[in-house]
Amino acid sequence: MSQLRGSDESVSGDAACLEEKEKTRSKMAQPSSAGRYDRQLRVWGERGQELVERARICLIGSSATGTETIKNLVLPGVGAVQVMDTQSPSCGLRSHGCYGATDASHTGATHSTADADTTQICAARDLGSNFFVTEDDVRHGRPRAVAVAHWLQELNDAVVCTAEHISLDELLEKLDADNERGKSGVEMWVAQFSVLVVAQMPFSERAPLRRLAAACWSARVPLVWCRSYGHYGMVRVIDREILTYSGGGGEGADARQPLDASVTGSASPELWPELHAFYDSFDFAALDSAATRLVPYPVILSKALHEWREKHNGGEDHHAFPNLRKHRTELQQILDGWRKSPQCDEENFDEAMRKLRLICDVRPGELQHGLAPLVADAEHMCGICGEEQEVCGGSGSGTGRDVSGLKNIHSQPPEAAMHRMRSRAHYWLFLRCVRAFVDQFGDVPVTAALPDMVSDTESYVALQRIFHARARLDVERMTALMRQQQIKDSARCSRMRLLPASARERLLVEPDAEQHVAYLCKSLRGFRATRTRAPDDTRYGRHPEDSELVAQSNNSGGGTGGEKDDGVEFAVCALLFAADAFHELQGRFPGQPPLRALPVDASDDQQVAFFSEQLVEEDCALFRGVAQSVAAQMALSPQGVALDGNLIKEFVRCGAAELHTVASVVGGVAAQEAVKLLTGQFQPLNNTFIFDGVRGASASFIA
């Protein structure tokens, strides 16, 4: 089955074509997809898969690095991918063979030929690095984006793979012209995608990528920028705010979550009478030792707290809180006193001891797990459009700032933009209502999942039922709060008023949105907002969590113990930027042969000239100067970036070679990041990953 698009009819107009294909795709949705996706459903769950399948990805740059990234997204079944190249083809499909007869209608299409650079036509050099270019493609001189889209399509029928024949320069020019005429702009164009992947493009000051990155930033489209350079690789994630929900959606993910304070009975009984009635049904005095050993630990903790309060102030204060060290000791004594046979193992009491923090450190209603700052942020957010209230309404200054591209997004949002707006809005709306929920009901919403614990079946199942019922009730309460808040917000959100009525409805939390709200409640402890550096931000720094993770891995991993030294990776990062600066000056990368491709029948002399070491010597001197001035601007570590002479030479000798192995490492990491961005699961990269193939090592940090 061929999904080629040979036409260059329009840039934003292709949405209709894609949507049509997506419709036919859903009709032939495969019954076996649960079997096909089984192994990944165990990683990101059904909901994660649904979000993956909804995604539309654009790749710009179809050499090995970008192609490998997209391959790793076609396999798990994203909705659609569109492949573009950075430069214009010197010729198109017209004079060349196509893959299938169905493409005959497109073969008449002509293509803009901005320059004669041949890199975009499949060449012998692609065969040595890109698995999705064939000898036949080279013989026929097919545009590389077309070949790549065709061979990627083979991997998964459920994905719509297309190729776009327009260079990025031309695209930007055309979109800017459109924008001036009040039509769509670059922002509108990027807004149709869920994630944009750009590969092997320089990021120097005048590079078109800068323009594209700025558009993604304002339209809130995540950008994943990847490159492979000799032994070295880089992935950078650029997005104003990445909202994630949980550490992962696979089976068993819930069981890792801790219980809330209310569950251990530290909240007052009137807030949860059913639970306290259950706890009261146990009487240690009446239980024999076998039965005592099977009492679930929340019961034990609840009773211990009750007894402690009795002892402490005669039970006067129902809210006395055992927050001191000596209180903890007192509680331990109470627990020990209840053990029937201190020498025999009563694992449930051991569990209760381990979980003492649930009643000692956690006050009911207190926001745990870094939630407090998020809930505070949520106060300023609009529950309709998910933007700050002062942007979308209130002050009235909001939309006036928007370029017309953004205005268009607000009045006719593409599907991906609509989905983005809705997810953001519900995320912040939910967090905003957490505050009201705690005020009203005494604690955060209960999670339906109960971790395993020592218990007889009957008690455990009974506890689980109480839990489920409460979780359901909390979801209903939360849904109602969210709907109330939206009614208030809808009066002042100017973006909502721009939207067509049908789109407005989609932003609202429906009365029967329980499944959706249940997911939010379940994920509460995993909420996290990651803000990456803006594309034009040139301050640099160290990943704050890196040292923490190193410490963890040293404790658990049996490693050498020393602090991980990322000095080489800092230098590699600086040199990649330096190589771009060099490219801007020289029109090629340091050590890169002036001739892009070696003729297939190259003579020995030609080969020697191509791989010339003289060029390396010459470029080294030049590059060292550029690198030093770039590195001086970067403060990746307190000591500055040490540029080793050998590393500089290694950079030059590789001549910006794109090794398949490095491209594949980068493509794997970039695809992982894309999946995180699409599913809102796991913790995204913030913001730069560097691979060093010389040592077989990597590092990530903020750059």
Partner 1 sequence: MGDAARFADVELLLRRAGPLAHAAFEAGPENGAFIASQCRVLVIGAGGLGCELLKDLALSGFARIDIVDMDVIDVSNLNRQFLFRAHDVGRSKAEVAAAFVRARVPRCNVTAHNADITQLPADFYRQFNLVVSGLDSIDARRWLNAFLFSLLERDATSGEIDPASIIPLVDGGTEGFLGQARVIIPGFLACFECTLDLFPPQRNFPLCTIANTPRLPEHCIEYAHVVLWPDVRHGERFDADDPAHVQWVFERALARATQYGIQNVTLRLTQGVVKNVIPAVASTNAVIAAVCAHECLKLASYLAPSMNNYMMYNGEAGVYSYTYQNQRRPDCAVCGVPVPRRLGISAGSTLNELLDLIAADAELRARSPSLRWISGHALYYSAPPALHVQTSANAERSLIDLFRAWHMQNGLAPDARDAANESENGPVVDAQRSPPVMKLSVADPHLPHVREVHVELL
In the range 603-662, which residues lie near partner 1 by CB under 8 A? 607, 610-611, 613, 616, 645-647, 649-650, 653-655, 657-662
Interatomic CA distance for residues 295 and 468, integer angstroms? 20
Q: Which is nearer to partner 1, 132 or 441 (CB)?
A: 132
Contact 337, 391 (CB under 8 A): no
Residues 439-458 interacting with partner 1 (rule: CB under 8 A) = 452-453, 455-457
Residues 386-445 interacting with partner 1 (rule: CB under 8 A) = none
Q: Which is nearer to partner 1, 521 or 652 (CB)?
A: 652
Q: Which of 21, 36, 106, 419 is in the footprint of partner 1 by CB under 8 A?
A: 36
Rule CB under 8 A: say whether 129 interacts with partner 1: yes
Q: How far is the CB of 84 from partner 1 (least distance, A)?
A: 22
Q: Which of 128, 370, 511, 594 is in the footprint of partner 1 by CB under 8 A?
A: 128
Residues 288-347 interacting with partner 1 (rule: CB under 8 A) = 294
Q: Which is nearer to partner 1, 402 or 456 (CB)?
A: 456
Rule CB under 8 A: say whether 35 interacts with partner 1: yes
Q: Which of 40, 90, 404, 586 is in the footprint of partner 1 by CB under 8 A?
A: 40
Which value, to the nearest 10 degrees, does the dihedral of the CA atoms of residues 292, 294, 295, 300 take?
80
350 by Cβ neighbours in 10 Å (0-12 / 13-18 / 19+) ranks as: middle
| Those residues with Cβ within 8 angstroms of residue 233's Cβ, 6 or more apart along the chain or in another chain | 65, 226, 227, 662, 663, 665, 666, 669, 689, 690, 691, 693
Q: How far is the CB of 695 from partner 1 (least distance, A)?
A: 6
Please tell me the total number of residues recorded for the chain in this structure: 703
Q: Which of 38, 439, 512, 605 is in the footprint of partner 1 by CB under 8 A?
A: 38
Rule CB under 8 A: say whether 697 interacts with partner 1: yes
Q: How far is the CB of 330 from partner 1 (least distance, A)?
A: 31
Q: How far is the CB of 517 from partner 1 (least distance, A)?
A: 20
Q: Which is nearer to partner 1, 68 or 489 (CB)?
A: 68
Q: Which of 182, 559, 594, 640 is in the footprint of partner 1 by CB under 8 A?
A: 559
The span of 64-72, 108-116, 485-493, 570-578 binding partner 1 (CB under 8 A) equals: 64-72
- CA distances (Å), origin 143, targets 15, 108, 523: 22, 15, 45
The span of 199-207, 230-238, 498-506, 514-522 binding partner 1 (CB under 8 A) equals: 230-238
Closest CA to 100 of 154, 19, 48, 39: 154
The span of 4-12, 36-44, 195-203, 622-630 binding partner 1 (CB under 8 A) equals: 36-44
Task: Report how many residues bind partner 1 under the rule CB under 8 A.
Answer: 110
- Tell me how many degrees the CA angle 42-46-50 measures, rounded to the nearest 5: 130
Q: Which of 21, 125, 183, 339 is in the footprint of partner 1 by CB under 8 A?
A: 125
- Tell me how many degrees the CA angle 9-201-574 measures, rounded to the nearest 5: 160
For 302, what's the count of Cα atoms within 13 Å in the CB-facing half-sphere?
27
3 state SS of 641: coil
Q: Which is nearer to partner 1, 39 or 181 (CB)?
A: 39
Q: Which of 112, 411, 553, 633 is in the footprint of partner 1 by CB under 8 A?
A: 553
First to last CA, the chain: 43
Output the DSSP codes for 516-541.
HHHHHHHHGGG-EEE-PPPTT-----
Show the tokens assigned to 125: 């050099």
Rule CB under 8 A: say whether 134 interacts with partner 1: yes
Rule CB under 8 A: say whether 225 interacts with partner 1: no
Closest CA to 168 of 195, 224, 204, 207: 207
- CA distances (Å), origin 88, targets 92, 107, 129, 162, 528: 9, 17, 20, 16, 41
Residues 454-513 interacting with partner 1 (rule: CB under 8 A) = 455-457, 460-461, 464-465
CB neighbours of residue 619 within 10 Å: 24
Show the tokens assigned to 290: 């076998």
| Those residues with Cβ within 8 angstroms of residue 655's Cβ, 6 or more apart along the chain or in another chain | 230, 589, 590, 591, 592, 593, 615, 616
Rule CB under 8 A: say whether 696 interacts with partner 1: yes
Rule CB under 8 A: say whether 671 interacts with partner 1: yes
Residues 344-373 interacting with partner 1 (rule: CB under 8 A) = none
Q: Which is nearer to partner 1, 394 or 693 (CB)?
A: 693
Q: How far is the CB of 16 from partner 1 (least distance, A)?
A: 30
DSSP 8-state symbol, 700: E
Rule CB under 8 A: say whether 565 interacts with partner 1: no
Residues 520-549 interacting with partner 1 (rule: CB under 8 A) = 543, 545-546, 549
Rule CB under 8 A: say whether 668 interacts with partner 1: yes
Q: How far is the CB of 411 from partner 1 (least distance, A)?
A: 36
Q: Return the sign of the alpha-carbon dihedral for residues 488, 489, 495, 496.
A: negative
Q: Which is nearer to partner 1, 7 or 530 (CB)?
A: 530
Q: Which is nearer to partner 1, 187 or 658 (CB)?
A: 658
Interatomic CA distance for residues 557 and 354, integer angstroms? 24
- For strands 688-692 and 195-199, give the pairing: unpaired
Residues 241-270 interacting with partner 1 (rule: CB under 8 A) = 247-248, 250-251
Q: Which of 602, 609, 622, 635 is in the footprint of partner 1 by CB under 8 A?
A: 602
Closest CA to 283 of 306, 262, 261: 306
Q: Which of 469, 597, 622, 635 is in the footprint of partner 1 by CB under 8 A?
A: 597
374 φ/ψ sector (left φ>0, alpha ψ -120 to 50, else beta): alpha
Closest CA to 143 of 314, 296, 6, 317: 6
Rule CB under 8 A: say whether 669 interacts with partner 1: yes
Q: How far is the CB of 32 from partner 1 (least distance, A)?
A: 6
